[in-house]
Each structure stands twice: as structure tokens, then as C-alpha cells.
Amino acid sequence: MPELDSKHILLGITGGIAAYKTPALVRLLRQAGAEVQIVMSASARHFVTPTVLQALSGLPVRDDLWDGGAEAAMGHIELARWADLVLVAPATADVMARLAGGRADDLLTTLCLATPAPLWLAPAMNQGMWRHPAVQRNRQRLVSDGVLLLGPDEGEQACGDTGPGRMVEPEAILAAISAPSATPTETEQILLGLNVLITAGPTVEAIDPVRYISNHSSGKQGYAIAECAAAMGAEVTLVSGPTRLDTPVGVTRIDVQSARDMHDRVHENIAGQDIFIGVAAVADYRPAAAADQKIKKQGDAADHTLILTENPDIIASVAALPERPLIVGFAAETELAEEHARQKRQCKGLDAIVVNDVSKAQIGFNSDYNSATLIWEQGEVTLPFQGKEALSRQLLEQLMSVFGMRLTVPPGALGPT
């Protein structure tokens, strides 16, 4: 059972059908040891009653900025300071828009603006609403303002539609907010003294000087891991295929194009590394011979063949080194994800593999979100659907808890004691 010992949680409930799950959420939060103060929006009352929520939280439910009696007991600014964490679940399209616009037009949005505590939202709405560009614009604005988003999940919806927009289940909300990574400001230096080499992004395999074969990898997950590892104290080297991303603070970046470039740069930098994480989507094949000049159209209406040859498997070649770091691979799968990943881990000789099912909307390539399963020889753990930054923290923490004993920090690396 996750622990929230005596944490002050301000739970905002807004008017979506998923509000019917909030009594169960309140019970879970209380069982985990949290104190829960509920603030409802006016429309939330149509879905769940304050009486039920008050009974479960043990505190009167607040819903009005102008309630003199409640304000006399604990004013809204005091309440904003009281909170260790603010969670809005469910968060409707409307509250997301109001928060993204910095509005303070009811008690909940006023508290969200006034609080210094981390703000988490669990969006819930119809899949068409979630996909609407206005909602996605607000989502992006909120993420760049530092708001932490949980989900939404995808699947069958109360309205009969299927798609993204279901509120993340109360158990998953509890797991996410009680994870050690839940408070972004408290980055523990658990990788201090360690060298970490990461590959990220796609590779680009030339057909001729203007054409190439590549894939949809954005590099976001690899860059997020690099940034997080550096924030946790590691010396990070990032060997990156072409991306549009900025180099994370404190990270040494080496740019490459092809799989063979990536292979060579990795091997030039592997000595002295403690951890190698292969996140790059390396092209398995390249054109057997890239043409020196642009290939001209034949105009003969015939089919043409491009002969491909296999690229080196970078991660497997690192795993075959006599002195090898801890090696973690990534696997993007579209079917039988975990089974294929288990086989891949063994075949390539990896210590662990992170698998995600990219057939699910919003997961993997180009998305800001991911969910994954970390698999190693003796176990596996699910990293729930969340932003790629939060997932990176959980992943590195999990790796250190499973393999930390194997990673010996060289004497003196931590500086004079």
C-alpha cells in the first residue's frame, strides 16, 4: 500500500461523470494516511454529493469563495498554503481551460493559482473533447506551466464512445502521487558519481544525398531520461540521432546520423560508463549502397528495388563487451509486447528492458506521455501512464533499487568527505 503519511491533499472535484469514482479515491487517500480537504466546483454536485464526500474525508466540503463561515475557519489563502499537493480529479475540459488561462473565478481555481504546492490533474472527458485542438492547446500550456497530468486512460467511455478521455483509476492516481518522484522539486542525487551513456532519437540511413530511410522517433523519452539522470547527479553523455530537441542542462550531446555513426560514437565513449541506456530507435536496415548522386526517376513505370543490408545491433554489441556497464534497452512493440520484450532482453544480453505498447494512442513515438513495463531477470514492474519526465524518474529510481548494489561508485567520485 503506498504511503502518504499525514500529507495534506487538497482534492478538487469538477463536474464530469468520473466524479462518481471520487468517494473511492478519497477512501484510498485516507487509507494511505493522507488528510483530505475536498473542494467541489458547482457542477460537480450534479454527480456526487457533498454529504458522501464529507463523511469519507471527515472534513466539511468547501465549494464557495464567498462562504463567510468557512472562510472564517480557514481562509482560501490559508487553505492554499495548507496543501502539500493539489489534485483535481476529475479535471474537466472547462477547468483545464480556466487553469490554462490563469482564471480565478471560483474557489478551486483560486486555490490552484494561490498554492505553492504541486498541482496534479486527472483529466476526464469525452474522447472527441480530449482530442479537440483547444483542449490539447490547454494541456500543453498546463504542462509547460509545470502542472502534472495523470492520463487520461483510453477505453470505453460512459457516453458509449471508445478512446482517450477516461479518468485514470483511483489506484493508479494514488500510486502516482505517492511515488518518490511525485514532488518534482526534491530530486535526490541517487546517481551521483555514476557515468551514464544514453542513445536517443531516430537514425537516418541515406539512400542518396537527398533521400533517406528513418522512423517517427522524436527523441523525447531519451532526452527526458538524460535530463533526469543529470538532475540526479550522473555525468550524462547523450548520443543522439536528428531531433528538434534542445540539449538538456548538464548533458554532453554527440550528434549522429546513421546507425553506424551511432555505433561508432557509442563504442568510442563506452569505457568508464556505469550504465548504458539504449533508447534510440535504431534503423535495423540501411540501403546496401548509398548513391553518390541523386537517383534520377527512370520513367519506365516499372517496379524498382532498394537493396537493404542489416545495421549493427548497437546495444547487443555493448552487451558483448568483456567489461560492460549495466545495460538497459527499450522495446516499442505493437503486439504481445511483454512476451516479445522478454525474448529481446535475453537474445541481446540486456540486464533490463523497458517495453511500451505503441499500438495504444498517446504512447510512445512523438507523444509527451508514456507508460511502460520494466522487465529484468527476476521481476517486472509497471510504470503507469504519465509524462515522459515523470516516467524517467520512476525508471531511474526503479533501476537503482533493483541494480544499485551492482553499481559501485569509484572512491573519490563523490568529492572530499
Q: Which stretches of the chain bind ligand C5P, using CB under 6 A? A: 199, 259, 278, 280, 282, 284, 311, 313-315, 329-331, 344
Q: Which residues are paired to 91 by β-bridges?
A: 123
The one catalytic residue among 112, 159, 228, 347:
159
Minimum CB–partner distance for residue 33 and ligand C5P (Å): 38
Q: Are 270 and 189 in contact (CB under 8 A)?
A: no
Q: How far is the CB of 167 from ligand C5P (least distance, A)?
A: 32
User: Is the Cβ of residue 148 or residue 259 nearer to ligand C5P in the bound state?
Assistant: 259
CA 398 to chain centroid = 14
Closest CB 369 distance from ligand C5P, rounded Å? 19
Closer residue to ligand C5P, CB minimum distance, 3 or 284: 284
> Within 166-313, where are the H helices?
170-178, 220-231, 259-269
Which residue in 263, 189, 242, 215 sits closest to 413, CA to CA?
A: 189
Q: Which is nearer to ligand C5P, 173 or 391 (CB)?
A: 391
* Min separation Cβ 261 and ligand C5P, Å: 12
Q: Is 159 a catalytic residue?
A: yes
CA distance 408 to 115: 41
| Of 162 and 334, CB closest to ligand C5P | 334
Tell me which residue has cell 500550456. Answer: 141
C-alpha cell at 313: 545491433
Q: Are 256 and 281 in contact (CB under 8 A)?
A: no
Which amino acid would we find at residue 7? K
Q: Based on CB atoms, which residue is closest to ligand C5P, 137 or 216?
A: 216
The type of residue at 308 is L
Find the shortest distance in angstroms from Cβ 225 to ligand C5P: 12
In angstroms, give the least distance from the CB of 228 to ligand C5P.
17
Q: Is the CB of 105 or the CB of 284 nearer to ligand C5P?
A: 284
d(CA 119, CA 189): 23
CA distance 260 to 263: 5
Closest of 274, 268, 254 to residue 201, by C-alpha:
254
264/214 Cα distance (integer angstroms):
19
DSSP state of 281: B
Which residues are marked as active site?
Answer: 159
